[in-house]
Chains A and B, each alone.
Chain A
């Protein structure tokens, strides 16, 4: 890679999954109760993409990494104070609605427009990263649509690993049915990669990285373009959370076999 990569990570924010989440219906459609009250985090799937992107950018000299994020500016700001400590990037903030119930086409249009407007963007160096799924709503189509709008035809989903070659081509490990991976070879950028979990641990909070990012984060937030996402006729018939069931007890000296046996019995009874 003579000139390095241009990696754009599309990452939304979601309510911290640890919080008590309760779907509600409002005049604007479905949402979560008290969503603005809940602390937000970077969408965990997209966060994996960001960490992988940061690793890749660091390994290819001359590379540049952008993080494009759509959400309410105040929430984005709060999330960036944590995310900004984990990887070096340039933020592109889009001030938009909260929640995962926006129309994927409208969201993709806003993201693609922001990416296309990046100064100095060179399609032959461009990799668009994002989450394969989302912690809010796993339609898994937004990144595909972003790729379409940008005219990128090489798209991979459920990516767990990439291996970049000297000539700029790369190998991709995609999750497929049956718990297996499919190995693909791509001639090179531009490409869209929707990440599964990747293989990297969450990076440590690094105050130096945070300080470095801060120089760009605050101006990006101040200059964030406001978008209104059209529903485009989208209507939700029903919204629910995954069923949760808790039965807690403290066991200190239980053998792993016994734990496994009990878990199997418990699942079989469900």
Chain B
């Protein structure tokens, strides 16, 4: 538990601040909240005179439902996805992908194992033998084209047939505009929520972030204390690193035996393809094996010659100098992809953390006055590699429960929410699939081959057979810094470390070059520096007057830390080595939250903050 965060929370609670009463306070606008608010407003519109939808806090008014979103726009800062869209279609039967910009029905799926064409990746001997056989038997037993082996079929658990390729930013914008047009709910962007308001273990509402403060959060010019929004029900959908969800976890802990140990950083580019591209809207590629065996990748094709291409760098990749941007650049240059991407242009770029513990990481879903939905509630399914539809569905389940409680005139107590929302969730396909998936990733902690075997076992047996094991906390998955753990000779490691301390090339970048990864030949169009990706692709912004949302609890610990994985994994190069150990530049932060799980000493706090990505095409 973060004592610093609790102390800060208590100090903030002492500040005199305006208050407001609403019926339902919602935190974070993503697919889960989209599902919640869409289901709620549809029920409302079906029976507008239903007294259940009369406000309890503002007599004579309709239900007061307010949603606060941290990002500057509800379309900003999320990701391209492929989803089965089962839950979304159940909520919106009339859904027409043509109405949603950048949406396409899935038309074709491929799974590719990518060989390493430049022999720089760190592959186990077993994998090397496999690669050798694949190449040796090319054209005899199978085909290896462009250093890629295509699986003859897409395993059922990965298939998204009948689903949609989406830009989540555009989808959120589409859903949000319909919700706001209904006039029944309000969605306020650019308004981070700093903490829940506790009364004992009950949540009585939320506290909005203070504005007009310095970097440390102390009142400065134009100080405006964040409003306290009190509500009988707080719906928490602020994602895996959201401030409200984290605070509830700190306060209540996780259920017995649960831990959020598996994480990944997803980083992607949105690329405008060449005019004569053969890639068709709705094509979906899943890849594995390159640029490192632990890194999975994807390519989804949107309408209008646009593709989302990206990778996932997982926590089980123990390299303390693991990184994402450089790997992403090598990934898109793999011959199997580069053939289609080389004449493309970068349109957008972004990154986010994914909570990959599934049911093992599920927090308390309900409590007195609050309910959790979406990724932060452990809904992401790591076997099927999907989270959007699952998140959406948890939102719809909560909305159904809320309508039931409103109609019954019951309060939003833990027991009532458990009997309605949790019961619905436990009885749903989301739960069944989550149970099947819960051990699917166990093997990856012993290497990629065993990981793939474990995943296949769990997937093909619907979870009946899987590898077992204990997954260590994410911070313990980071191997101590040594020449061996970073893959170079001792003297070379020391030299590069000295250079990095002196302000030279970032260490993770230098280490990759030292391990044989070729330098990136920037073309100014698709292959650009990380700072250009940040500004041209991510359009990153940070409004003044907010406190730093990334806080290092003990800088002495940072100074002594040999790993500094937070620096290597910082998506925006916002965390850098400096004289004090590390420094944070808020204006470069994309709010991916990777610093939280990439600290070997649990020394980083990720608080509520404004700004971040402004791209709406992610």
Contact = CB atoms under 8 A, between A and B. Distances in A.
Whether A and B are associated in the same complex: the answer reads yes
Interface in B333-348: 347-348
A63 interface: no
A78 B74 contact: yes
Contact-residue size bin, chain A (C-beta under 8 Å from the other chain): 20 to 34
A252 B578 CA distance: 10
A240 interface: no
B18 interface: yes
A205 B101 contact: no
A16 B614 CA distance: 9
B274 interface: no
A81 B172 CA distance: 15
A219 B177 CA distance: 15
A248 B187 contact: no
B616 A207 contact: no
Contact of B211 (A20, A74, A204, A246): A204
Contacts of A77: 177, 180-181
B503 A39 contact: no
A36 interface: yes
Interface residues of B, number: 50
Contacts of B187: 81
A37 B176 contact: no
Interface in A38-54: 38-39
A252 B503 contact: yes
Contacts of B102: 37
A169 interface: no
A16 B176 CA distance: 18
Nearest to A214: B186
Interface string B605-618: 00000000011110
Given A204-B212, A208-B227, A39 B76 contact: yes
A123 to B, nearest CB: 34
B75 interface: yes
A85 B543 CA distance: 15
Contacts of A74: 177, 181
A201 B539 CA distance: 21
Interface string B133-176: 00000000000000000000000000000000000001001001
B165 to A, nearest CB: 15
Interface in A206-257: 206-208, 210-211, 214, 218, 221-222, 246, 248-250, 252-253
A106 to B, nearest CB: 26
Interface stretch (B81-89, B188-196, B372-380, B416-424): B188-196
A85 B188 CA distance: 8
Nearest to A251: B503
Interface of A: 16, 18-20, 34, 36-39, 74, 77-78, 81-82, 85, 201-202, 204-208, 210-211, 214, 218, 221-222, 246, 248-250, 252-253
17 contacts: A18-B541, A19-B539, A20-B347, A20-B536, A39-B76, A81-B188, A201-B544, A204-B222, A205-B191, A207-B20, A207-B68, A207-B229, A222-B183, A246-B524, A246-B532, A248-B529, A248-B535
